[in-house]
Amino acid sequence: MDKKVSVCICEKCDFREVVFSTLDDASIQELCNHKQERSYNKGEIINHEGEKITDFKYLRSGLVKLFRRAPNGDEQVITITRPFEFVSNMSIFSDEKYKYSVSALEDSVVCTVELEYIKKLFLKNGGFASNLLTKISTINDKIIGQTLDIRQKNLAGRVAFVLLYFTQDIYKSRVFDIPVSRKEIADYIGMSTANVIRTLSDFKRDGIIKVFGKTMEIVNIEKLEIISKRG
């Protein structure tokens, strides 16, 4: 199914300051000629593991998850991320195909630029190349750091870590709609769905959180932080 495509106004794009700040106005206008925006509904796949990489992509708005399928068919969630992070670009200089899948957890907008054009910019503009490598490296370090942090924690610590990530990094609010299922949380932290459900029930019983359908409120963030650190 064709996605809704629109032209991105590069001169006013917030992302220009993140990576494209070294480009002059003429180069920015040229970039716009190679760039499109695509809208994805919640649950839609942005790219599949094994697909050929043809575009450089970044998330302009929304929320996505990066994942892969294990040999037994189970889903392994690698990270959940917000706008301006390059979750689909970790293989653009090392492989011809995506090693991971990316799907929208909320209605999302993705900007795409022809990969060949990005590679030409990379070779021609040292400042752009440095900015791009720095940003991709930062994202990789974040994913590795989160994975190691989660593995060092017990069950309660892992669930607390994820809830703190949502409230402090993703939504920056103590009240938010949970963007993932209990199973996706379990896939992310390497625990069973039943254990995640039980731990959330314990947090609710202890007055740490309140849950109203899909909406969660972090009532006692200090206690949640203690559980995450001690976990």
Please state, in angstroms and as integers, the Cα–Cα distance from residue 231 to each residue in 15, 154, 175, 228, following that order. 36, 5, 23, 5
pTM for the whole thing? Answer: 0.81
pLDDT at 14: 56
CA-to-CA separations, 148 to 69, 100, 110, 161, in angstroms, rounded? 20, 19, 28, 12
Q: What angle do CA 75, 78, 80 make, to 5 degrees?
A: 105
pLDDT of residue 174: 96
Q: How far apart are CA 143 and CA 82, in angstroms?
A: 13
Instruction: Tell me which of 119-123, 176-180, 190-194, 217-221 is least confident.
Output: 119-123
Domain boundaries, the chain: 4-149, 153-230
Tens of pLDDT, residue by residue over 139-182, are 888 888 888 888 899 999 999 999 999 999 999 999 999 999 99
Tokens found for residue 92: 């653009």
- Model confidence pLDDT, tens digit, residues 171-181: 999 999 999 99
Contacts of 125 (CB under 8 A, 6+ apart): 22, 23, 27
Query: Which among 150, 151, 156 has a CA at the least distance from the CA of 199?
Result: 156
pLDDT at 1 over 50: no
Average pLDDT, the chain: 85
The CATH homologous superfamily for domain 4-149 is Jelly Rolls (2.60.120.10)
Q: Which two tokens stand for residue 141?
A: 């370090």
The architecture CATH gives domain 153-230: Orthogonal Bundle (1.10)
